[in-house]
Structure 1
Amino acid sequence: MLVNLADILRDASQGNYAVGAFNGYNYETFAGIIEAGTETNTPVILAFGAKYLPNMSLATAFSLAESLGGKCKTPVCLHLDHCSDLDTVFRAIRAGFGSVMYDGSALPLAENVKNTRLVCRTARACGVSVEAELGCLAAGEHSHEGSAADVAAYTEPTQAAQFAAATQVDALAVSIGTVHGLYKAEPNLRLDILAGIHKLVPVPLVLHGGSGLAAKDILGCIDQGIAKINVNTEISVYAVAKTRELLAAKQPHFSELSLSQADYVKDVVKKYIAIFRRR
């Protein structure tokens, strides 16, 4: 069943676990993510980044999510990920997305607050949840969301509390040392900053840059209020590598290749579901 983000994250916060937001951009990724949730009886967030609009339209993304996940007993949230364009955010709300992320983190604080408040008012009237971001992540290896010019800027706890109160967001993405992409070295996670944010901010917190994080680091973040963790790059890297292996071994029919690729996506999603749910 398709749901909004707030209900999923409320349960995660109360249960001291996290829900995975896994990026989808074609049939294979949508199918693998939803099947992983169904087979593990776990809610999943199907994150469709604005970056992937060349792959499919918002309407197509919703139709595919509804077709694959609408009749599932396990909750599925179709979420617009990392979108700085207000028009696209509003179109996603109209298209039926259960959640949208307005990313104004590159803007001056006052403008980020103003735009996020507008998104929240519009989304709430439609029963849609809103995620926003404060701070900035650097780009790691194979990043498909950030750029080499991105510089890490940690989220300041007091500012995060003021932002959450002013905007009334349902979830807040924070920067504590993770990166978009895979890590080039051992990550330096600032759990002290995260603890300060968790103490002051009453809404569920979001960690972007989950690909490649060690289980101990993930669990440490969950203990300090992280209820949603994004995974993108590792799904792509693993699926591409496995596809190369398959093509080197035989020449499958295109339809068989598609089924195999959905299974590759499912492998990574299940791995992270087990960690996020402390299984």
Structure 2
Amino acid sequence: MPLVTTADLISTATAARQGLAAFNVITLEHAEAIAEGAEEAGAPAVLQISENAVRFHGGDLTAVAAATAAVARASSAPLALHLDHVVSVDLLERAHAAGFGSVMFDASKLPYGDNVKATAEAVRWGHERGIWIEAELGEVGGKEGEAPLDAHAPGVRTDPAEAAAYVADTGVDALAVAVGSSHAMTERTASLDHGLIAALKSAVPVPLVLHGSSGVPDEEIRRAVAAGMVKINVGTALNTAFTTAVRAFLAADPTAVDPRKYLAPARTAMTETVAGFLRLL
């Protein structure tokens, strides 16, 4: 079916008080698994390509975006295409031509004033082209090259009053907040601050986004959605399923050389992971 927009899926999820899962794409098998998992679960999903993934593909956004979009269009599930954790203005400005309806522009590493200025400019540019813009305030941590973040460290979590001012000053369409999760967690042991989620929901007039959801247990995710979290980002859980399946296959058949032999079970494992998160939401 034709691509839908993240904005439309977010609007539907918000009205239904449900969560919307967004999964990160690295390889073609990731995209296929997300589409198949969404079909199995009978649920919509967002296919995200991060700046790190674009860098992995030699900096060429066009090819990986075209392949991901082709998989999404061939699916019977409602799927959207989103560009994730963009720090480069050049990459942001390539999003529209590559077919993205939404971008997460990440200026969270900048001082607060610079973050506001850069994000407001990204929002202005995006809105002129009909692109929905997500941003981040707080320190979720754990991205590539970063040490795992202590999600309980002072000053890490998003302040509701600052979040309200940030949204007003930037005009963002959604806000990723730091409430106790961290990127790149391979065990689901994160404990979220549900009181803070509720406070942010009351203070901020746009949908809230949970990054690092791979490390969050099912019940914590359910409670987070009930408290007001809408977009639920999942990346590492797919990579863990992929790699575990490949390792198991090669351990059982160390002479195998045809990558199709081990990529097939890896794709199946990711499909099951996707379907599990979608059924949860």
TM-score in same-fold range (> 0.5): yes
2:276 aligns to what?
271
1:257 aligns to what?
262
Identity %: 33
- Supply the distance in 1 between the matched residues of 2:172 and 2:121 (Cα, whole angstroms): 11
Q: Is the 8 A contact 1:146 1:180 kept in 2?
A: no
Q: Indicate the larger mover: 183-192 or 235-244.
A: 183-192
2:83 aligns to what?
80
Q: Could you list the runs of 5+ residues in structure 2 that have no partner in the other structure? A: none
- Supply the distance in 2 between the matched residues of 1:26 and 1:245 (Cα, whole angstroms): 19
Q: Is the 8 A contact 2:188 2:217 kept in 1?
A: no
Q: 2:278 is matched by which residue type in structure 1?
A: I
SS at match of 1:189: coil
Q: Is the 8 A contact 1:137 1:151 kept in 2?
A: no
Aligned counterpart for 1:112 among listed residues 110, 115, 119: 115
- Supply the distance in 1 between the matched residues of 2:221 and 2:3 (Cα, whole angstroms): 26
Q: Is the 8 A contact 1:26 1:55 kept in 2?
A: no
Considering only aligned residues, what root-mean-square deviation do their CA atoms show, in Å? 1.9
- Supply the distance in 1 between the matched residues of 2:266 and 2:19 (Cα, whole angstroms): 25
1:128 partnered with 2:127: no
Q: Is the 8 A contact 2:95 2:103 kept in 1?
A: yes
1:60 partnered with 2:59: no
CA shift for structure 1 position 146:
5.8
1:26 partnered with 2:31: no
Structure 1 runs, 4 residues or longer, greater than 4 Å off: 149-152, 183-186
- Supply the distance in 2 between the matched residues of 1:182 and 1:67 (Cα, whole angstroms): 30
1:156 partnered with 2:159: yes
Aligned pairs (5 A) from 1:1-279: 1-56=2-57, 57-139=60-142, 145=144, 147-148=146-147, 150=149, 152=151, 153-182=156-185, 186-250=189-253, 251=256, 253-276=258-281
CA shift for structure 1 position 253:
3.1
- Supply the distance in 2 between the matched residues of 1:161 and 1:183 (Cα, whole angstroms): 32
CA shift for structure 1 position 150:
4.7
Q: 1:30 is matched by which residue type in structure 2?
A: A
SS at match of 1:74: coil
Q: 2:259 is matched by which residue type in structure 1?
A: F
SS at match of 1:131: strand
Q: Is the 8 A contact 2:140 2:181 kept in 1?
A: yes
SS at match of 2:242: helix
Count of equivalent residues: 272
